[in-house]
Structure 1
């Protein structure tokens, strides 16, 4: 679709007028009073949670965003027409989701009912979903075709590009399709907000477009006024909707840009000197934890005896930090003739603790030195 020229603008204006007329015939305020007992009616939190679940189903079954938007619209229309109990909410939601999929998707993309009931973990059987479908269709007079907020978002976005072709000049790496996909993500996030049900779908879509246009061009207000006149929307309601949408979108985490590069910065290890020989000390960045020296195989081979009371006493269960020198593990294997390096390290720590862990009384009485190491066997 081209976004420039009077003919395209006239077609978009006619499409917007038809959608607004259709919305005015069907739409009504979906807000309901919060019931004191949750067994009587569905609470706003429960409604938002089930919409978030439907969003996950959309990605799980690889369906179009239009399917999800229609499913949420059917859910809100049905909940506004009847007083449903919370125990039926999952069945109502999955039935609306299946009706929307059969309405929007191609036949080969519509999931099988038994697969949908099984993989969605809705807790309903296919027969129960079909019975709920019949109830929903009866309450909605078998009229499932309504302009969703996503439909208005596409129309307003196309009108904005038609009126301001330079709208995306500040975003050189983003084409119109990618830009409308970004706005679609914001809209799907807003669908799970109960407070925004007081506004029509056209109002919600225009609020999202206006917040985005404000960031892109300096004369955004003139463009929004033009869209307001075409949509026949009250400006005071738009301002209120913009505030709520901006507040709700602040919790949306921005997605990383494409082809992101993540740089890994390892922690620095400093080689320090111990009285009993050189060791490899690990600095985790916290001053509260004591630094534990770790002896290398070279230090162990040079010193057959360790002077008591010159090293800090290591704990029996402490873990030896990973070292960049592979000879450390090979040396432990050769000294103790064992294949399992962690067990050898534990045995070495037990011998080192007996030598370095001397208290003040044993230091004064000339404690016995460490036992000599076992002879090295050639492996």
Structure 2
């Protein structure tokens, strides 16, 4: 009696099809249509009057932590941020609805990409029940209509395998580069300055930053970095100077993020020492406290 399913709790991913990555037409098709899914214009200056960049970052960080908590597939978060940015570029939105919008975007992206989509109940729980399931479902239709039901957006993750397939590295090395690149892409999605960058440029910049960061020989990094940048630019038909600028911005973003993380960790340690075991009565039970956005 061993005829029971051992795959019930496992997430099975399809193996990469080499025919897709060997056919240059697939990459060319992605490059041709990627601009359709990029917000047109800086919406903080042109559209949004009540929402500021720091609010978007707080909600993006909350969305990322929800994905990490629920162990979502890596492409759920970038896709959800694409929905959020496209919506904000088209619809003036009050800041009190920003977390609701973020939850709806996660809801939709998980339906499209996740093997086990996020439930409305769980998303409401992660907002500390500041939204209801009814609001989530109502706003789902609003977002769908504003995005014209065009949800199969192209994100930087769609370009990773096409780029890595053309790099001269062994498979074990590529696996490490892939992991670091995915982290960089998620980090870029939390920063509004990358909102209008083409997904292919973000992907190539993240791959370049990952490879250079993993180089053991720092003495030859400048020479290797230039050669790598030229190769990446050739793969995705990007201008070398633009790609260099994007990669430098990604590396600076990583540096700033690490500094902020260290400062927050230090403040938490100091707070624990001063409290001596006492807990505040007003703590949020969401992964990131975004209540300031709703005030």
TM-score w.r.t. structure 1 length? 0.57
Report the Cα offset of residue 193 of structure 1.
1.1
**Secondary structure, aligned partner of 1:84:** coil
Which of 237, 245, 265 is equivalent to 1:240? 245
Report the Cα offset of residue 222 of structure 1.
3.5
Deviation sequence 1:268-300 (CA, Å, 0-9, x none): xxxxxxxxxxxxxxxxxxxxxxxxxxxxxxxxx
Provide the residue aligned with 1:45 in structure 2. Answer: 54
Provide the residue aligned with 1:294 in structure 2. Answer: none
**Secondary structure, aligned partner of 1:134:** helix
Give yes or no for contact 1:94–1:122 (8 Å, CA) kept in 2.
no
**Secondary structure, aligned partner of 1:65:** coil
Match status 1:18 vs 2:24: no
What is the CA RMSD across the aligned residues, in angstroms?
2.7
Provide the residue aligned with 2:69 in structure 1. Answer: 60
Structure 2 unmatched ranges of 5 or more: 1-14, 216-220, 260-295
Correspondence list, 1:1-379, <5 A:
10-11=22-23, 13-29=24-40, 31-34=42-45, 40-106=49-115, 109-121=116-128, 123-160=130-167, 164-165=168-169, 175-214=173-212, 216=215, 219-253=224-258
Q: Is the alpha carbon distance of 1:3 and 1:94 closer, same or farther for their aligned partners in structure 2, counting shifts above 3 Å?
A: closer
CA distance in 2, matches of 1:127, 1:10: 46
Give yes or no for contact 1:67–1:101 (8 Å, CA) kept in 2.
yes
Give yes or no for contact 1:187–1:208 (8 Å, CA) kept in 2.
yes
Moved over 6 A (4+): 1-4
CA distance in 1, matches of 2:20, 2:157: 20
Q: Is the alpha carbon distance of 1:60 and 1:165 closer, same or farther for their aligned partners in structure 2, counting shifts above 3 Å?
A: closer
Q: Is the alpha carbon distance of 1:125 and 1:9 closer, same or farther for their aligned partners in structure 2, counting shifts above 3 Å?
A: closer
CA distance in 2, matches of 1:186, 1:122: 31
Structure holding more helix per residue: 2
**Secondary structure, aligned partner of 2:42:** coil
**Secondary structure, aligned partner of 2:163:** helix
**Secondary structure, aligned partner of 1:250:** helix
TM-score w.r.t. structure 2 length? 0.72
Q: Is the alpha carbon distance of 1:29 and 1:238 closer, same or farther for their aligned partners in structure 2, counting shifts above 3 Å?
A: farther
Deviation sequence 1:135-164 (CA, Å, 0-9, x none): 11111110100111122233322322xxx1
Report the Cα offset of residue 223 of structure 1.
4.1
Report the Cα offset of residue 188 of structure 1.
1.1
**Secondary structure, aligned partner of 1:159:** coil
Give yes or no for contact 1:34–1:44 (8 Å, CA) kept in 2.
no
Give yes or no for contact 1:91–1:122 (8 Å, CA) kept in 2.
no
Give yes or no for contact 1:58–1:68 (8 Å, CA) kept in 2.
yes
Deviation sequence 1:336-372 (CA, Å, 0-9, x none): xxxxxxxxxxxxxxxxxxxxxxxxxxxxxxxxxxxxx
Report the Cα offset of residue 176 of structure 1.
2.9
